[in-house]
Every structure is written in structure tokens, then in C-alpha cells.
Amino acid sequence: MGKFKWMGVLVVLVVLFFVFDPFRGEPPNPKVEAQGKDIPTVQGSFCWDGLLRNQCVDKVYVDGLDMTKKSKPTVVSSNKKIDISFEDEPESIEIVRWKDKQDSEKVTLTGDAVTAPKEKGTYAYEIKAKWSNGDGQFAFLVKVD
């Protein structure tokens, strides 16, 4: 009976190890999708305190437009939901939508989603997320058609 008890404890520990990923060295990347299409993201600067490794990485990006300048935009329809989720939910999220260097605005995350604009054009979304372990910056690019 004792043998099964120890095997059970071992299984629980292994599951906890993989679920909580205590050795993660950077923040989790967001999963972004719209209309059934995955939207790739770019990781920016971050600081993260892991169990074995603490690090801050500064990327040379000015803003969401700069972060996505090499990205191919994902086409979405106007006024459609863009879902944004994280494997490990952050304590706070701030999102800025950029149309160009002079045209940016904060957007509200409602039910883990933002709404694509009405106007056609290419838009960069910059996400700043904070966890108890640190923070991260991410961006993605969409084309409203």
C-alpha cells in the first residue's frame, strides 16, 4: 500500500511541475486569434523571476509599430473580435492600438477580446502584461479589410 502512495505523490509532483512550469525564464506568450485564424505575436522587452533564473531582456523596439515592422498582417473583418489569452493569466494588461506614429489609442480588453476597428487599414496592437513574476511586452499586426 505504501508503494502506491509514493507513486501517487510522485505523479502529483510531476503534474504540478509541468502545469506551473517553475523553471520558465520568460513570460508566457499570448495566444491571439480572430475569426478562427491564429495571429502571430512578437515578443518585446521583459523582466521575469523564475525559480532558477531571473532576467531582464531589453529589445530595441520603440513601440508596437516598430515591433511589428517585419510582421505580415493577419486579415480580419471590421468590428470583429480579436481574442487575446495567456496560459498564465496576467494581473494586469494594457493594450495600445497603433495606426501610425501619430495615431495611437488605448483599447479596452473586454472578456479577453478587443474589437477590430471599423476603418480599413493596418493596425499594430501593443500589449503590456504584468504578473507577480514580472512583466512582458508583445505586439501583433492586423489588416482590417
99 vs 23: which has the higher pLDDT: 99
Q: Measuring CA to CA, which residue among 113, 30, 128 is closest to residue 76?
A: 113
53 in any annotated domain: yes
Q: Distance (Å, rounded) from C-alpha 83 to C-alpha 113?
A: 4
Alpha helices in 47-126 (DSSP H): 64-67
Indicate whether 13 belongs to any domain: no
What's the number of domains the chain is made of?
A: 1
Q: What is the pLDDT of residue 101?
A: 87
Q: Which residue type does 21 have?
A: D
13-29 residue pLDDT tens: 555 455 455 566 899 99
Domain assignment present for residue 96? The answer is: yes
Q: Looking at the predicted structure, is the pLDDT value of residue 144 above 90?
A: yes
Q: What is the CATH number of the domain that holds 115?
A: 2.60.40
Is residue 67 in some structural domain?
A: yes
Residue 107 included in any domain:
yes
Q: Please tell me the pTM assigned to this model.
A: 0.83
- The range of the structural domain enclosing residue 103 comes to 24-144
Question: How many Å apart are CA 77 and CA 71, to the nearest integer?
Answer: 19
Question: Does residue 66 lie within any of the structural domains?
Answer: yes
Per-residue pLDDT tens over the stretch 19-78? 455 566 899 999 999 999 999 999 999 999 988 889 999 998 989 999 999 999 999 999
90 located within any domain: yes
115-136 residue pLDDT tens: 999 999 999 999 999 999 999 9
Give CA–CA dist 50/54, Å, rounded. Answer: 5
Give me the chain's average pLDDT, please.
90
In a domain, 5, yes or no: no
Q: Are strands 134-144 and 74-76 parallel, antiparallel or unpaired?
A: parallel
